[in-house]
Structure 1
Amino acid sequence: MNHKPASPTWITTPITEDLVCGAIELERTDHGLLPHRLPARARAQCPDRQLHLAETQPAGVRLVLRTRATAVELDTLPTRIEYRGAPPRPEGVYDLRVDGTLTGQASVSGGNVVSIDPSTGTAETRPGPVGTVRFADLPDHAKDVEIWLPHNEITRLVALRTDAPVEPVPSGNRRVWLHHGSSISQGSNAASPSTTWPALAASLGDVDLVNLGLSGSALLDPFTARTLRDTSADLISLELGINVVNSDVMRLRAFTPAVHGFLDTIREGHPTTPLLVVSPFLCPIHEDTPGPGEFDLDALSTGTVRFRATGEVAERAAGKLTLSVIRDELARIVTQRAVDDPHLHHLDGRDLYGEPDFAELPLPDALHPDAESHRRIGDRFAALAFGPGGPFAAERE
């Protein structure tokens, strides 16, 4: 006689702050708990839709719990972004890590869709239902379970169910690494949330990541600097430059004091914390050509997402910024400041992704590294920053 396995007896656990890592703030909404990566005061100071989309996409945010559960269910309400004319984006991925090892991946169907017309910038939202991600057959012993939320879609946390009680994971001795950067730091084109380059580097460096990579929005905004200043951290890094170029928001005259002001603000809260400034990765379309950058509409009409630079090389003479100009200026600024700030460091982004890498692993959309490049960048950052002699090496503490 065949017996159907008994359904688990579910225990519903309220999702509270002590179960969520990597978020700056949690907002209780009518449709679930919404993780933010910028605080309300910062969000109120900038109405830009791109910024608000990016900071509510929970890159680096994960549920962390200790449990004997062999099955876990998480109800969420996703909000996905689509660009009209472009191929549909795949559903966001949830990574399950058990005692630090990636053991499962799943997606949630349903949810809202924000449809953006790249030629006009207009958008409309189509509402959708709550979905469920389920992980089963977990080992039957006490363990630390992490569920990394999709780095590229807004996620409201609705309900958490397990077949055994859960408790928060006690704070350990791991250092906290606070990182800010562009969409590349948020994880664009990475395979999953725990395989973005900062997540991979954090795992290799044995640190807890707070990822403030903000797609299209690493623009030296004062409210972002204040967020970094006010967030507890043992290590801080800044990937700066690409968004300043491809959004064309300032000239060299404004860029230099803006960088100084950004660093000054961070130092108000972290006067001696190791602080690493990472200049732009290689991106040929903007190496010597200023922005703004935009979607290549001809490519988009064929179903290919690709970006292009629209500035003119000659505009550099008028102070327009390119990646090569920014690299030189960031290196000069850090050298100048390091005379009085021995905990300030610089890393050329081309040491993480440079010309040989582009020849082997070209940027698929001319702007963002692919999944394999994320892994390479994460490995290199871990070696250069956390490795022996690096600015984040434990022996420097």
Structure 2
Amino acid sequence: MSANDHWITTPVTAELLRGALDVERTELGVLPHRLPARARAQCADEQLAMAESQPSGVRLAFRTRATAVELDALPTKRVYIGAPPRPHGVYDLLVDGRLVGQGSVTEGNTVTVDMRTGTSERRAGRPGTVRFDGLPAGEKDVEIWLPHNETTELVALRTDAPVAPAPESGRRVWLHHGSSISHGSDGSSPTAIWPAVAASLGGVELVNLGLGGSALLDPFTARAIRDAPADLISLKVGINLVNLDVMRLRAFGPAVHGFLDTVREGHPRTPLLVVSPILCPMHEETPGPSAPDFGGLGEGRLTFVPMGEPGEAAGGKLTLRVIREELARIVSERACDDPFLRYLDGRELYGEGDVEELPLPDQLHPDAATHRRMGERFAALAFGGGGAFA
């Protein structure tokens, strides 16, 4: 903590947070969640627990005259045995919608993962502080976007002037659900992942339910979306169903219908955009599952390879081509009775024309430059003239 004698400490409460569907009170402070407690109680999967507690799209939002801000936080960092250290999570500070500062908390809990054995070990750490100063004088709206890839327990907020929850912006709320690509995997900072880029360009408030490795048409996720306030909804479906090999074609269609039915129970007339997977060459015609290739791990390279065989699609195993065809068919049929339902081919966000210039570094996830491109394209296609969210 700074020696500044004029700090004002403001308790972090749900009123100061946007983008979270639940806020858990802890011994130290609060832990934002992107799935409500009821949904979390219905699945004990460690991957889901990690993903939903990583606050992608979650931000503190307040109005203040402060020129200096400190945030104490306890992050949970992940270390992968045999791989170089991962960069610390980034906090983005925006003033009146403009990025003016970035920082990280280097302390925190540590989870050490052995990907070869699937085991992990947790070590408790201590909170740290991220500080922003030199902010413009005068009344302003401040947002601190939390690291999209680190579970972050919020301990204390200090400023050199009083703060109040930011007033409602009047902007529409866009709720987006997808996989690790939507979660922000390999994005450079929380406001640089593609849904955040698209939300900024589209002038909307983002609720990001991109859940790394967990976009699996789970009923509890559908119910969470059903019950959440939203003016616009998009569902990006497909890649996790393939790379985890969790279902066959026979189950896929009814699962999509069931997911959409549940969402429509709470949002019968909300613009709803179904987005198919972006191009992923290794799974276009080859089913999953995917598996890590550890050959380059020591040099900091982790790539993935498909474990299925192309001919298995004939027996009902899913490929990205099959998923796109089925999603397009399902949306077309349902749209006859649902004029607010639309479909977007994910290859319009990243497709054949992008592979040579911006290849997927690990064969699955886009890099930072691709996140920017996808966000810009989604904004144009969804929020632009004639788009589902225009």
TM-score range, shorter chain: over 0.9
Provide TM-score, normalisation by structure 1: 0.97
Deviation at 1:355, TM superposition (A): 1.1
* Residue 186 of structure 1 pairs with residue 194 of structure 2: no
* Residue 67 of structure 1 pairs with residue 61 of structure 2: no
Deviation at 1:8, TM superposition (A): 5.0
Distance 1:30 1:170 in 2: 29
Stretches of structure 2 lacking an aligned partner (at least 5 in a row): none
Distance 2:381 2:28 in 1: 42
Distance 1:362 1:60 in 2: 25
* Residue 348 of structure 1 pairs with residue 332 of structure 2: no
Q: In the superposition, relative to structure 1, how do residues 66 and 304 fare at CA in structure 2: closer, same or farther (>3 Å)?
A: same
Q: Is the 8 A contact 2:84 2:298 kept in 1?
A: no
Equivalent positions of 1:119-268 (< 5 A) are 119-268=116-265
What's the % identity of the aligned pairs?
69
The code of the aligned residue for 1:176 comes to: V
* Residue 11 of structure 1 pairs with residue 19 of structure 2: no
* Residue 92 of structure 1 pairs with residue 57 of structure 2: no
Stretches of structure 1 lacking an aligned partner (at least 5 in a row): none
Q: Is the 8 A contact 2:147 2:190 kept in 1?
A: yes
How far does the alpha carbon of each residue in 1:250-283 deviate from its partner, in whole angstroms, 9 at most, with x for none?
A: 0000011000000000000000100000000001
Deviation at 1:245, TM superposition (A): 0.3
Q: Is the 8 A contact 1:83 1:118 kept in 2?
A: yes
Deviation at 1:6, TM superposition (A): 8.8
Q: Is the 8 A contact 1:32 1:77 kept in 2?
A: no
* Residue 55 of structure 1 pairs with residue 37 of structure 2: no
* Residue 108 of structure 1 pairs with residue 102 of structure 2: no
User: Cα RMSD over matched residues?
Assistant: 1.1
Q: Is the 8 A contact 1:66 1:169 kept in 2?
A: yes
Deviation at 1:302, TM superposition (A): 4.2
Distance 1:188 1:8 in 2: 40
Q: Look up the match of 1:279.
A: 276
How far does the alpha carbon of each residue in 1:81-130 deviate from its partner, in whole angstroms, 9 at most, with x for none?
A: 22211221000000000000011100001101111111121111121110
How far does the alpha carbon of each residue in 1:202-244 deviate from its partner, in whole angstroms, 9 at most, with x for none?
A: 0000000000000000000000000000000000000110000
How far does the alpha carbon of each residue in 1:146-194 deviate from its partner, in whole angstroms, 9 at most, with x for none?
A: 0000000100000000000000111131000000000000000111001
Distance 1:6 1:282 in 2: 52
Distance 1:293 1:6 in 2: 51
2:368 aligns with one of 357, 367, 371: 371
Q: Is the 8 A contact 2:273 2:341 kept in 1?
A: yes
Provide TM-score, normalisation by structure 2: 0.98
2:32 aligns with one of 17, 35, 46: 35
Q: Look up the match of 2:267.
A: 270
The code of the aligned residue for 1:207 comes to: V
Distance 2:169 2:179 in 1: 29
Q: Look up the match of 2:20.
A: 23
* Residue 389 of structure 1 pairs with residue 386 of structure 2: yes
Which range moves more in the overlay, 9-18 or 82-91?
A: 82-91
Q: Is the 8 A contact 1:331 1:346 kept in 2?
A: yes
How far does the alpha carbon of each residue in 1:31-64 deviate from its partner, in whole angstroms, 9 at most, with x for none?
A: 3210000111111111100000000000000000
Distance 2:77 2:237 in 1: 26
Distance 1:48 1:83 in 2: 19
Secondary structure of 1:103's partner? strand
Alignment coverage as a number of residue pairs: 389
